[in-house]
Structure 1
């Protein structure tokens, strides 16, 4: 059941698409919620492994851990790249002469990708 929840959350998170040229706060919130669901599901999966020593030693589980680590790293890199691009855009539309053009054409400030409250603390799991 937990593994199915992880797979469903991961599938849902990969289906959320954001068009950078037309990104709305609602789309960003939907994306952040999907990522939060994946994190919660993975936290439950890792907590379950505490009670099953055989599962921790299983080669498939070790590969899963490696893949999860890689996924988390890719998410962090993508989040940083997105926030860097949003910052560069926000600075550009505030500087003269681009600020004049941005004001006339209706270019607004883009929101940053922000993690949910408490996402900075990893679930406590011992292997």
Structure 2
């Protein structure tokens, strides 16, 4: 594995995909309330947020608590942030990912008005 090349490509592709989806939505970076990136590596998350101009406090990070959970990382990050009360109805959220096989994508959504999320534990 060529870590530096993967890092640079991940940041570039996640940034480009997020910029494209924001443009498609007619959003500027100032319109984005939250950035949720694939939780592969905190350095990639930080570099992507910086490249987009998203403040660090608007980037959801849970990799420090759950590690890289592969394809489940964005759904888990969303669930964690929602359970912590981070999202409000109407918040604009951009999801962006880079993964195996050199694939990447982004999605923009407006956070819905949902009932609170309860966490279960044993």
More strand by share: 2
TM-score grouping bracket, smaller chain normalisation: under 0.3
Q: Larger radius of gyration, structure 1 or 2?
A: 1
Q: Scaled by the length of structure 1, what TM-score is found?
A: 0.26
Q: Scaled by the length of structure 2, what TM-score is found?
A: 0.27
More helix by share: 1
